[in-house]
Amino acid sequence: MNFAAVIVAAGTGSRAGGTPKQWRLLKGRAIVRWSVDTLKATGAHPVVVVVGAEQKAEAERWLGDAGIVLAAGGATRTESVRAGLAAVGAVDAVMIHDAARPLLAASHVAALLAALGQADGALPALPVADTLKRETSAGVTTVDREGLWRAQTPQAFRLQPLLDAYARWPDDAPATDDAAVVEAAGSRVVLIPGDPLLMKITHPEDFAMVERLAEATRITRVGQGFDAHRFGPGDGVWLCGIKIAHDLTLIGHSDADAGLHALTDAILGAIGAGDIGDHFPPSDPQWKGASSDRFLLHSAELVRRRGGRLTGVDVTLVCEQPKIKPHREAMRARLAELLELPLDAVSVKATTTEGMGFTGRSEGLAAQAIATVELPG
């Protein structure tokens, strides 16, 4: 079943205080970006994000990549959803999600799509566990909680019944969720088991809870890389982003920085994204003499797009010459700067092969790297 997604992100977040909650950072990413990445990874196309007119700069900063359509929101949630639906195109189904529920997982999406096999709409819901009270001018009374559920998002619908339902919904009638609109049109909506991870950020104290939940759902992956280049005539070598004066240079299509090449491959390996040659083919003339900083920054950006973050890197340089120790701290500082890591998360070491092999004969040098990446679970 092909499906699109509409993420409602036009609110001002007045109850959460300060910056609108969809643009606040959670583990280095805007909150709205968490749901966008999950929906894209599970096959939603397009992913439409409905934003307020005054939020254009933030939206372009965090959502300016392929597969994301930005739509202008309205004065109410109903108007914003209608604007998002107008941008989805021809699909079988659509998921509508609140930007303030960032911990969406692929399993939630799969369960909702499966539920549409027997209904026009489906939504995750949690049974009400607490005793409910109603306060009136006459005092406090207890409300029967039997059969009551807490509705969550995303909510999934077959597209045509949803469009028909919104066409019939009065413009001046508020709808707190989309299932209410579809229910009112007489279409069948079913519940699937909800998940506490789908909690909605509403009040300032909710951010601390979401931070803890996000930490608990992360996984760590490790990638390794290796590169080697031979020496040729020259006046210096590039290693880990630093040029070292030397009577030889390293030969390669780019600047032949073996340290950055190995580290780029390690990062790509941690996220299963191939190797440096897949992204920067040596047969492509545009990379001739290119600074390897660009390769490293590209790999780091791919990690961010997948909702991850680098947590540490370790590079070992294998050579008889040039001497690495005098330049090691400069290399660490450069890597920390490029990757936006604290210095104690960056290691650069050097060793020799005691005269053995091509590095021992000073015909070239080699580099090995390891990178650790934290990704959504």
Distance separating the N- and C-terminal Cα atoms of the chain: 24
CA-CA distance, 173 to 139, in Å (whole number)? 30
- Contact between 5 and 71 under an 8 Å Cβ cutoff? The reply is no
Please name which of 290, 299, 309, 211 lies closest in space to residue 262, comparing C-alpha atoms. 299
Which residues on adjacent β-strands are paired with residue 249? Answer: 232
- The bridge status of strand 93-98 relative to strand 3-9 is parallel
Which residues belong to CATH 3.30.1330.50 in the chain? 218-376
CA-CA distance, 357 to 25, in Å (whole number)? 49
Q: What's the confidence (pLDDT) of residue 17?
A: 52
Residues constituting the chain? 377
pLDDT in tens, the chain (377 residues): 899 999 999 876 554 456 688 999 887 788 999 999 899 989 999 999 999 888 888 888 888 776 799 999 888 999 999 999 999 999 999 999 999 999 999 899 999 999 999 999 999 999 999 999 999 999 999 999 999 999 999 999 999 999 999 999 998 888 889 999 999 999 999 999 999 999 999 988 999 999 888 877 778 999 999 999 999 999 999 999 999 999 999 999 899 999 999 999 999 999 999 999 999 988 888 888 889 999 999 999 998 877 788 999 999 999 999 999 999 999 999 999 999 999 999 999 999 999 999 999 999 999 999 999 988 76
Q: Tell me, letter by letter, the H, E, C secondary structure of 286-335.
A: HHCCCCCHHHHHHHHHHHHHCCCEEEEEEEEEECCCCCCHHHHHHHHHHH
| Backbone φ and ψ of 267, nearest 5° | -65, -45
The superfamily CATH assigns to domain 3-130+146-216 is Spore Coat Polysaccharide Biosynthesis Protein SpsA; Chain A (3.90.550.10)
Burial (CB count within 10 angstroms: exposed 0-12, middle 13-18, buried 19+), residue 304 = middle
Helix, strand, or coil here: 192? strand
pTM of the model: 0.65
CA-CA distance, 3 to 117, in Å (whole number)? 13
Which residues belong to CATH 3.90.550.10 in the chain? 3-130+146-216
The answer to whether the Cα torsion of 164, 70, 88, 210 is positive or negative is negative
CA-CA distance, 35 to 264, in Å (whole number)? 27
Distance, C-alpha 98 to centroid of its chain: 16
How far is the CA of 280 from the CAs of 205, 243, 272, 370, in angstroms? 45, 22, 16, 20
Options 3.30.200.20, 3.30.1330.50, 3.40.50.2300, 3.40.50.970; CATH for 218-376 is 3.30.1330.50
